[in-house]
Structure 1
Amino acid sequence: MRTAVTQPVITDSDFLKFREFFYRKTGIYFEDNKRYFVDKRLIDRIEATRADNFRSYFIALRFEADGAELQQLVNAMTVNETYFFREFYQFDCLVRDMLAEVVRHKRPGSRIRIWSIPSSTGEEPYSIAIYLLERWPLIDQYEVEILSSDIDTTVLSAAQRGVYSARSVGQLPKPYLDKYFHRRSDNEFEISRDLVAAVDFSRVNLSDANDTRRFRDIDVIFCRNLLIYFDDLSRRLAAEAMYDALTPGGFVCLGHSESMSRISSLYTVRRFPDAMVYQKPMSGNRS
Structure 2
Amino acid sequence: MASPPQAPPLHRIAAPRISAEDVVVFCDFFYKKTGISMDASRRYFIDKRLEDRMAANDCNSFREYLSLVKFQPGGAEMQALINEMTVNETYFFREDYQFACLTRRMLDEIADRKDPRRDRIRIWSIPCSTGEEPYSIAISILEDWPRASDFDIEIIASDIDTRALARAREGIYQARALHRVSPRIRDTYFRKLDGENWQVVPSLRESIDFGVINVSSPTQMARMRGIDVIFCRNLLIYFDDLSRRQTAEHFFDALNPGGFVALGHSESMSRISNIFVPRKFPEALVHQRPLP
What TM bracket, shorter-length normalisation?
over 0.9
1:54-73 equivalent positions in 2, closer than 5 A: 54-73=62-81
Per the alignment, residue 273 of structure 2 pairs with 264
- Pick one of 234, 240, 243 that aligns with 2:252: 243
Is 1:126 matched with 2:168?
A: no
1:22-61 equivalent positions in 2, closer than 5 A: 22-61=30-69
Q: Percent identity?
A: 52
DSSP-derived class of the 1:273 partner: coil
Per the alignment, residue 184 of structure 1 pairs with 193
Distance in 1, matches of 2:127 and 2:69, equals 24
After TM superposition, the structure 1 stretch with the greater mean CA deviation from structure 2, 76-85 or 27-36, is 27-36
Per the alignment, residue 145 of structure 1 pairs with 154
Per the alignment, residue 182 of structure 2 pairs with 173
Distance in 1, matches of 2:116 and 2:78, equals 44
- Please, what TM-score do these two structures have when normalized by structure 2? 0.95
Aligned residue pair count: 281
Distance in 1, matches of 2:124 and 2:68, equals 35
Distance in 2, matches of 1:41 and 1:104, equals 49
Per the alignment, residue 24 of structure 2 pairs with 16
Query: Deviation of residue 4 (structure 1)?
Result: 5.5
Q: Contact (CA 8 Å) 1:166, 1:186: kept in 2 or not?
A: no
DSSP-derived class of the 2:225 partner: coil
Per the alignment, residue 211 of structure 1 pairs with 220
Query: Deviation of residue 32 (structure 1)?
Result: 2.6
Distance in 1, matches of 2:125 and 2:139, equals 14
Distance in 2, matches of 1:178 and 1:25, equals 41
Is 1:135 matched with 2:144?
A: yes
Counterpart AA for 2:47: D
Counterpart AA for 2:79: Q
Query: Deviation of residue 18 (structure 1)?
Result: 0.5
Question: Which has the higher Rg, Structure 1 or Structure 2?
Answer: 2
Q: Which runs of 5+ in 2 are unaligned?
A: 1-10
After superposition, what is the alpha-carbon deviation per residue over 1:128-165, rounded to whole angstroms, capped at 9, x for unaligned? Answer: 00001111000000000000000000000000011001
Per the alignment, residue 158 of structure 1 pairs with 167
Per the alignment, residue 79 of structure 1 pairs with 87
After TM superposition, the structure 1 stretch with the greater mean CA deviation from structure 2, 210-219 or 27-36, is 27-36
Query: Deviation of residue 173 (structure 1)?
Result: 1.2
Counterpart AA for 1:52: N
Q: Contact (CA 8 Å) 2:23, 2:40: kept in 1 or not?
A: no
Per the alignment, residue 282 of structure 2 pairs with 273
Q: Contact (CA 8 Å) 1:38, 1:77: kept in 2 or not?
A: yes
Counterpart AA for 1:5: I
- Pick one of 232, 235, 239 that aligns with 1:230: 239
Counterpart AA for 2:74: D
Is 1:199 matched with 2:199?
A: no
Distance in 1, matches of 2:190 and 2:67, equals 46
After superposition, what is the alpha-carbon deviation per residue over 1:31-61, rounded to whole angstroms, capped at 9, x for unaligned? Answer: 3321111111011100111111111111111
Query: Deviation of residue 185 (structure 1)?
Result: 2.6
Distance in 1, matches of 2:135 and 2:69, equals 35
Counterpart AA for 2:43: R
DSSP-derived class of the 2:153 partner: strand
**CA gap 1:4/1:69 in 2 versus in 1, 3 angstroms:** farther
After superposition, what is the alpha-carbon deviation per residue over 1:58-81, rounded to whole angstroms, capped at 9, x for unaligned? Answer: 111112121110000000000010
Distance in 2, matches of 1:168 and 1:42, equals 29
Distance in 2, matches of 1:108 and 1:61, equals 47
DSSP-derived class of the 1:221 partner: strand
Distance in 2, matches of 1:223 and 1:65, equals 31
Query: Deviation of residue 8 (structure 1)?
Result: 1.4
Is 1:100 matched with 2:98?
A: no
Counterpart AA for 2:45: F
Counterpart AA for 1:81: E
Query: Deviation of residue 186 (structure 1)?
Result: 3.5
